[in-house]
Structure 1
Amino acid sequence: MESFNEYHIDPKEFTFLKSFQDNWQAIRDEFIHFIKQASNEDLKLVYDILGPKSKTIKTKGDAKYSAFGILFQGMFIEKYIQVHQIKYPDYGAEEASQKALVLREKYFPSLAKLIEKVNFNDDEIIRNVYFGTFHPGLDIKLHVNYNPHTNRGYLGLIVPEGDVAMKICHEQLYWHEGKFLVLDHSYPHCPHNYTNYDRTVLVVDFFKPDKPREEVIQFENEQVTQRMQENPYSLGVFGKSDRAKVEDFIKYGFTHQLEWDKAL
């Protein structure tokens, strides 16, 4: 029987996630089709334009984490680029927005329709939707995702057997294909992939339903403004506030120490 707590939350509490879970194979099929069939130019464009990039979350060693998506802060990527007037090395905001729209409609039409349906029925509760891939050997250092107004759902799409897990507080949690792992990712955590294969999930960030909507929207707007000033290619997902503080390391280490003491 799986147990839940303040940072590891039962996905069944969020009925709007069921639509994603029921369609997980179609979502996976679109991802696999893109990876296998996209031209080199399209692959580069997707990771350049649709990929949220962090300057603060660090890894141990050379293994990488890659991500790209189609919804950020409740807006499809082409609108988000225009609203924030993101300029790229090879093209301006208008051209980047047009390219993003073409890529979204070409490769991820089913996922886009699903997002539209859920947000229409649930008052724009879904904020970010992107694919996240842990490449073999990845070990991400302890960090937080300072988003106290949202929870993060990870829908397993391609999950190899073996040691690929999320360490959060004193637990080690695992992804499973076709199922959600829902976390309050403002708690310090450090995921890894010690297998020889890629692990890919669909990341779905959503407002915490128990918080006043006006309050969380105001917080999101202020946070995104700050993050876009720090790093426009973060797409508002990552920021300097994601760095773990000294007290996080102390708390994390102390929690583990208690577990070690109990084990001994």
Structure 2
Amino acid sequence: MISFNEYHRNPETFLFLKILQDHWQVIRDEFTGFLHQASDEELKFTYDVLGPKSKTIKTKGNSKYSAFGILFQGLLIEEYIQVHQIQYPDYGMDEASAKALVLREKYFPNLAQFIEEVNLIDDGVIRNVYFGTFHPGLDIKLHVNYNPHMNRGYLGLIVPQGDVAMKICHEQLYWHEGEFMVLDHSYPHCPHNYTDYDRTVLVVDFFKPDQPREELIRFEQEQVAQRMQDNPYSLGVFGKSDQAQEEDFIKCGLAHQLEWDKVL
């Protein structure tokens, strides 16, 4: 029987996630359909523009992580590009926004509809939605995603059998297809994929429902402004605060990890 705690949350307590979970196969089919049908140019654009980039989260060795999405900080990707005036090396801002809209409408109409439905019901509770793929051999170093007002849900879409897991504090947790795993990512964590196959989930960041919405939005705006200044291609998802500090290790009894990280 699964036990929940302050960092591993019971997904059933967040009723708005049920809309996404009930349609997980539709969402998975849109993802796999995109991979099989998209042109090389569309694929390149997607990972260049729709994929949040991190300068701080590190992997061990040459293992890879890839991601792309359609919602960031409550805005659809084409709106987010315009609001934050993002300039790309290979695309003008207006061009990038227009292409992002075309791709979203072409390949992910159902996912966009499900997000809209949830956010209409619960006043914009969902903030980020993107596909995250762990390629074989991935091993991400211990880090945090600091936002005390946010939870991160993972909806399993393609999960191979074997050792593909999330280590957080003193636990090792496993994804399952068609189910949500919900974590408070302000606690130190490090995922891995030691199988020979890709693992893909739908990452869904959402506000903690029991806190004042105005305070959450104000914190988010301040944090995103700093993250976008540090790295405009982070899409507000990643930032310098993702680096685990010594007090994070000590708080969770992981002080030995400091020595391991130095060695690695």
Normalization by structure 2: what TM-score?
0.95
Q: Does 1:148 align with 2:179?
A: no
2:163 — aligned with what? 163
Structure 1 residue 72: Cα displacement = 0.2
1:194 — aligned with what? 194
2:231 — aligned with what? 231
Structure 1 residue 171: Cα displacement = 0.3
Q: Which amino acid in 1 is paired with 2:101? A: L
Give distance in 2, aligned partners of 1:86 and 1:123: 26
Give deviations 1:28-72, integer Å, cap 9, x for gaps: 000000111111000001101100000000000101100000000
Q: Which amino acid in 2 is paired with 1:94? A: D
Query: Within 5 Å, which residues of 2 pair with 1:22-171?
Result: 22-171=22-171
- Structure 1 gap ranges (5+): 258-264
Give distance in 1, aligned partners of 2:122 and 2:86: 29
What SS does the aligned partner of 1:102 have?
Answer: helix
- TM-aligned CA distance change 1:254 to 1:138, over 3 Å: closer
Give distance in 2, aligned partners of 1:140 and 1:99: 31
Give distance in 1, aligned partners of 2:138 and 2:67: 14
Give distance in 1, aligned partners of 2:170 and 2:198: 25
Assess if the C-alpha contact under 8 Å between 1:170 and 1:256 holds in 2: no
Assess if the C-alpha contact under 8 Å between 1:168 and 1:187 holds in 2: yes
Assess if the C-alpha contact under 8 Å between 1:59 and 1:141 holds in 2: yes
Give distance in 2, aligned partners of 1:11 and 1:29: 23
Give distance in 1, aligned partners of 2:33 and 2:127: 25
Structure 1 residue 251: Cα displacement = 3.8
Assess if the C-alpha contact under 8 Å between 2:249 and 2:255 holds in 1: no
2:260 — aligned with what? none
Give distance in 2, aligned partners of 1:117 and 1:250: 41
1:9 — aligned with what? 9
Give deviations 1:104-160, integer Å, cap 9, x for gaps: 001100000111111011101000000000000000000000111110000000000
What SS does the aligned partner of 1:15 have?
Answer: coil
What SS does the aligned partner of 2:244 have?
Answer: coil
What SS does the aligned partner of 1:204 have?
Answer: strand
Assess if the C-alpha contact under 8 Å between 1:162 and 1:195 holds in 2: yes
Give me the CA root mean square deviation: 1.2
Structure 1 residue 252: Cα displacement = 4.2
Give distance in 2, aligned partners of 1:178 and 1:234: 28
Give distance in 2, aligned partners of 1:173 and 1:251: 20
Q: Which 4+ residue blocks in structure 1 deviate beyond 4 angstroms?
A: 252-257
Give distance in 2, aligned partners of 1:255 and 1:17: 35
Paired residues, what number?
257
Give distance in 1, aligned partners of 2:169 and 2:99: 41
Q: Which amino acid in 2 is paired with 1:184? A: D
- Structure 2 gap ranges (5+): 258-264
